[in-house]
């Protein structure tokens, strides 16, 4: 039976013992935590995120005045499908600097790179 259900034999015995004591097989499934936000609060949070896309969890918490933590707001934001955006740092160069970098690369392409990397630790 354990091989058929792809579990350990001790799990089978635990379920049988639980059934003998409680006459129920819902082993631990009816003791869930209630959600931190109800559906009305989730919709309110969704509208607040849509209005302030770049708001942090602390700012959203102060806007909505929910009795919860910043981490909970972050989790609900991720569950609503909002993903963090990473800012892309673009190097501002002009044509002369690009030529200098290209010339340097041409001159030093056979040099050992570890002689140019410095670590401060």
What is the residue extent of each domain of the chain?
A: 1-32, 37-84
pTM of the full predicted structure?
0.48
For the chain, the average pLDDT equals 83
Alpha carbon distance 40, 24 (integer Å): 34
- Give the pLDDT confidence of 19-76 residue by residue, as tens digits: 888 777 775 555 567 889 999 999 999 999 999 888 899 999 999 999 999 999 999 9
Q: Which long-range contacts (CB under 8 A, 24 or more apart) does 76-83 make?
A: 76/36, 76/37, 76/42, 76/45, 77/45, 77/49, 80/42, 80/45, 80/46, 80/49, 82/49, 82/53
The pLDDT value given to residue 28: 58
């Amino acid at each position: 039976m354990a091989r058929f259900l792809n579990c350990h034999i001790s799990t089978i015995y635990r379920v049988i013992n639980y059934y003998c004591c409680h006459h129920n097989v819902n082993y631990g499934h009816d003791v869930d935590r209630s959600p931190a936000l109800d559906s009305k609060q989730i919709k309110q949070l969704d509208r607040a995120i849509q209005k302030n896309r770049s708001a942090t969890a602390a700012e959203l918490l102060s806007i909505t005045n929910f009795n919860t933590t910043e981490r909970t707001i972050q989790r609900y934001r991720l569950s609503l499908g909002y993903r963090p955006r990473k800012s892309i740092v673009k190097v501002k160069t002009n044509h002369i600097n690009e030529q200098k970098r290209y010339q340097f690369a041409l001159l030093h392409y056979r040099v050992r790179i570890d002689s140019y990397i410095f670590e401060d630790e």
